[in-house]
Amino acid sequence: MMKKRNVVLGLGLAAALALTGCSSGGGSADGGGSSGEAVKGGTLHVLATTDFSHLDPAQGWDGGVNNFYRLIYRQLTTFAGGDTDDPTEIVPDLATDLGTPNEDNTEWTFTLKDDIFFQDGTEITSEDVRFGVERSLDPDIAVGSPYAKILLEGADDYEGVYKDGHLDSIETPDDKTIVFHLNQPYADFGSAVAQPVYTPFPVDGDVTTTSIDKQPISSGPYVVSEYKPGSTIVLERNEYWEPDSDEVRKAYPDSFVWTLGLDNSTIDERMIADQGDDKNAISGIILASSLSRIQEPSIQERTLEGLKGCTTYLALNTTKEPLNDLKVRQAISYAIDKKSVQTATGGPALTDIANTMLPPTVKGHQDFDLYPSENSEGDPEKAKELLKEAGYEDGFELSLDMRAVPVTQAQAESIQESLAKANIDVKLNVVDTAKYWQIIGTPSQQTDAAIAGWCPDWPTGATFLPPLFEGSQIFDQGNSNIAQFDNEEVNERMAEIRKMTDVDEANKAWGELDKQILESAPAVPLTWEKAVTVTGSNIANAHLHEGYSGGIDYTVVGLKSVDE
Amino acid sequence: MLFYILKRVAAGAIVLFLITVFTYTVFFVLSPDPAYMICGKTCTPDRIADIHEKLGLDKPFWEQIWIFISGLFVGREYGEGVNAVHCTAPCLGYSFQTSQSVFEMIVQRLPVSATLAVGAAVLWLLAGIGGGLIGAVKKGTWWDRGIMVVALSGISLPNYFVALALQYILVVKLKWLPFPTAVPFADDPLQWFQAYIMPWFVLAFMYAAMYTRLVRANVIDTLGQGFIRTARAKGLDPNIVMGKHALRPALTPALTLFGMDFAALLGGALITETVFGLNGVGKLTADSITQNDQPVIMAVTLLAAALVVVANIVVDLLYSVLDPRVRVKAQ
């Protein structure tokens, strides 16, 4: 739920990026030359600036590392491959299906497939899945996905398998069957078990809390054969992985080599130059300053573009005067010139304008604009009218929390300018980047408004709206409901949607709730940033995956041809 | 002599202790709470209290410093029970973000920085001393002016510019070199050389400039002194006059400078390592700062300080070898 910290740091980067042309939303963005047929074999290189946060799936949890985990780990379910029509659809992975719930969705049973093995050839059993989850709940490493802790009965005060023994709410009646007892009805549990914390580890494999981060034990198509933190990661094939047991992973290359710690501009330079092994390379999102250099048709052919699936927004602290007045918040929603925020973020090449909290990549997303203005340039007159009704005819002073990052700074300044036209005097409160999330996540320290961002844990409203707008999610520290929005009707509606047994119906309801929330204007959606990346000329079947912050899906990418 | 060495080592230890206290204060008391970076996304106040306890941050300030310093000699234990993390001596701290002891992290990166520093040092000493000598001997000629212009550009051009320009010309345009990927020498000597030659040159270009100017000025100064005239007057071989009598005293100030520069480079060439993607101590510093991994930032700061202190002691001892006049005083 609180994916905030890493994710939004990511957003800061995201904000520096993107490209021209293509319309948004296209999930498996086909970039001409990169979409050809891939062959088996060869070594695929990945050029990256930083190391992954953790090799231990109990600890790592962000778009980039989750994407990587799919090469070495499997969970009960997972996202479909980036080369399918709907990559954000959840499909069975180790399990035969998406799980069978009881009547009220509080008890879920999964059956494991045959021919699933760890890297040493031992078969993966339900006990191993249970062990993996129990291990991940140890407070010392439980910094990854919280979807075991918040859903499993008794997980709240459980201290992990090493201290507390087994967790009673996970049962393993036989080697192939695993049953989860939840503390609440949860219709979308089939998606929750795709989270990295549901990765199995051998119950009698000398696994400790800290060992996996150094020596991962693979259940996927590759094993980690070399790991030098901060420098290189080499993956080789896991000979015990059975392709027939896996409908998602194509695992084309024989090996993957990550070169870590490269300078961002050097990566762009190498991708554009396309020399030697770099022909077989992919990388992350390019720098805004490199945009003009990839406009050549030969480079455009190997450029991919898509939405990252996150929203940057302005949170309005609903507990502070005068922001506790609905009319004032609506006035701000009208007044903000989103066009200029878009320009500040790098222009249409880098980002789309957001009018809803849920980005178009989220299932059930509804398109609407409650506070329209011409060309999205803001409507200060309408804002002034509303302020007059609210009794703030002469305007007021507003303090805006922001990070000392160039993009955020530019966004804040454009917000400042557009609100000035409605007589709202914005004072920028520049906060040190390292302290930013700590400060705006502490209600006693945040000021009136803040620029923040959110990426969903998987693309549904359920992992998007509650963390940001549910009353019970307001905490003294580590708070993600930065608007401190506590609306009885919205809270009730969230509880109702959670009880829905039909996931599609629930997704639709979340989309509608987005509108209901924005009617109260606790936040102003600003931008949806894009992911733009250039691949090597020998790369095939490269597809951006919205489930992984717009990164290239590692499980389906391969080489066009392999030198013998 | 022994007493002199002991005195210097003791003074060095006191300086290092003060630096430790200072950096500890800056990083753990004044900076953002490291618990937040470790705590992850499901952070609760209880969890933060737990992390404080595990890191020993709940203890009084002086006790924390004591634990840190004793950890250097006897190692230390984080937490207790099954999940305890042991950090063996010399324990410079433990990075919970990377699940590694900081000492281990630095040791992994040090060979890259050392390769970089040694290679660059060889180049810049050759160029600096050679250039300085030629400049001094041929004072006022086109040789001298030419060398001084190059030296001036070495000092004034920022090294990230030189690095990027060099990479663009040699790699992208001329394709004489591949993009650098550092490997150990034993794995692939050619690739090793190709990866380091550009960074060596960039660093050497910057440092050589200073040494050229320094050596040139010192040699000119020495050449004007009485003992050189005497040496020449008694008919000594001009090469011996130059090499033995003029150059040696001119090198002592350069040695002081060299000790500091070399030590600082071992502690990481942040910009050069970053541009060329070399994962040395400098890159580690840069990464740790971005990720706010405080134990690592603190350790590399201490390392850099320690290297400079040690280099100073070594230089002072070498002084007496190079210059007999200092030897007398030291004794």
Rounded Cα distance between B220 and B225, Å, is 9
pLDDT of residue B329: 54
Q: How close does chain A come to B158, measured CA to CA in Å?
A: 17
Read off the pLDDT of residues B162-192 as tens digits, 9 standing for 90 and up: 998 998 899 888 888 888 887 888 888 998 9
Q: CA gyration radius for chain B?
A: 24
Beta strand A43-47 with A77-79 is unpaired
Read off the pLDDT of residues A185-226 as tens digits, 9 standing for 90 and up: 888 899 999 999 999 999 988 898 888 988 999 999 999 999
Q: Could you tell me which chain A residue has the CA closest to the CA of B274? A: A263
pLDDT of residue B99: 79
Q: How close does chain B come to A476, measured CA to CA in Å?
A: 8
- CB of B77 within 8 Å of any CB in chain A? no
Q: Terminus-to-terminus CA distance in chain B, angstroms?
A: 6
From the list B39, B167, B277, the residue facing A143 with the nearest CB is B39
* B140 confidence band (pLDDT: 50, 70, 90): confident
- CB of B179 within 8 Å of any CB in chain A? yes
pLDDT of residue B114: 92
Q: How close does chain A come to B42, measured CA to CA in Å?
A: 6
Residue B42: name the closest of A480, A283, A541 by CA.
A480
pLDDT of residue B113: 92
Q: CA gyration radius for chain A?
A: 24
pLDDT of residue B51: 80
* A35 confidence band (pLDDT: 50, 70, 90): low
Read off the pLDDT of residues A99-158 as tens digits, 9 standing for 90 and up: 999 998 899 999 999 999 999 999 999 999 999 999 999 888 877 888 998 899 999 889
Rounded Cα distance between B231 and A195, Å, is 82
pLDDT of residue B77: 84
Of the two residues B316 and A212, the one the predictor is more confident about is A212
Residue A303: name the closest of A295, A292, A314 by CA.
A295
From the list A138, A228, A270, the residue facing B179 with the nearest CB is A270
Q: CB of A303 within 8 A of CB of A296?
A: no
Mean model confidence pLDDT for chain A = 89
Rounded Cα distance between A375 and A392, Å, is 27
pLDDT of residue B78: 83
Rounded Cα distance between B219 and A409, Å, is 53
Lowest mean pLDDT among A26-30, B132-136, B218-222: A26-30
* A229 confidence band (pLDDT: 50, 70, 90): confident
Chain A residues whose beta carbon lies within 8 Å of the beta carbon of residue B284: 230
Residue A214: name the closest of B81, B100, B230, B126 by CA.
B100
Classify the phi-psi angles of A17: left when phi > 0, otherwise alpha if psi is within -120 to 50, otherwise beta.
beta
Classify the phi-psi angles of A373: left when phi > 0, otherwise alpha if psi is within -120 to 50, otherwise beta.
beta
- The torsion angle over the Cα atoms of residues B200, B206, B209 and B214, rounded to 10 degrees, is -100
DSSP category for residue A424: E
The pLDDT of B8-15, averaged and rounded, is 88
ipTM over 0.85: no
- The torsion angle over the Cα atoms of residues A244, A247, A252 and A255, rounded to 10 degrees, is -80
- Is B284 in Cβ contact with A213 (below 8 Å)? no
The Cα diameter of chain B in Å comes to 84
Rounded Cα distance between B78 and B76, Å, is 7
Q: Is residue A16 predicted with pLDDT exceeding 80?
A: no
Rounded Cα distance between A205 and A213, Å, is 15
Interface test with A, best of B30, B179, B190 (most A CBs within 10 A): B179
- Is B168 in Cβ contact with A273 (below 8 Å)? no
From the list B42, B171, B181, the residue facing A142 with the nearest CB is B42
- Is B181 in Cβ contact with A259 (below 8 Å)? yes
Lowest mean pLDDT among A14-28, A278-292, A329-343, B72-86: A14-28
Token readout for A54 is: 């953790």
Rounded Cα distance between A409 and A427, Å, is 12
Chain B residues whose beta carbon lies within 8 Å of the beta carbon of residue A210: 83, 85, 99
The pLDDT of B145-161, averaged and rounded, is 89
- Number of Cβ within 10 Å of residue A270's Cβ equals 26
Rounded Cα distance between A2 and B43, Å, is 8
Token readout for B140 is: 């006022």
Percent of the residues in chain A that have a pLDDT greater than 90, as a whole number = 67
Q: Is the dihedral of CA A428, A433, A437, A443 positive or negative?
A: negative
- Is A263 in Cβ contact with B83 (below 8 Å)? no
The 3-state secondary structure of A287-346 reads CHHHHHHHCCHHHHCCEEEEECCCEEEEEECCCCCCCCCHHHHHHHHHHCCHHHHHHHHC
Strand partners, B100: B95
From the list A228, A260, A438, the residue facing B36 with the nearest CB is A438
Chain A residues whose beta carbon lies within 8 Å of the beta carbon of residue B169: none
List, in order, residues 6 or more apart from A297 with CB less than 8 Å away.
none
Tokens 């296209």, residue? A26
* A5 confidence band (pLDDT: 50, 70, 90): very low
Of the two residues A218 and A476, the one the predictor is more confident about is A218
Number of H helices, E strands in chain A: 16, 22
Interface test with B, best of A6, A266, A432 (most B CBs within 10 A): A266
Q: DSSP H helical segments within chain B, as ranges? A: 2-24, 34-39, 45-55, 61-74, 102-137, 142-156, 159-167, 189-223, 226-233, 238-240, 247-266, 270-275, 281-290, 294-322, 324-330
Q: How close does chain A come to B311, measured CA to CA in Å?
A: 28
List, in order, residues 6 or more apart from A74 with CB less than 8 Å away.
A93, A94, A116, A199, A200, A219, A220, A246
Chain B residues whose beta carbon lies within 8 Å of the beta carbon of residue A261: 277-279, 283, 287
Q: Which of A328-342, B23-37, B267-281 has the highest mean pLDDT?
A: A328-342
Of the two residues B23 and B117, the one the predictor is more confident about is B117
pLDDT of residue A6: 35
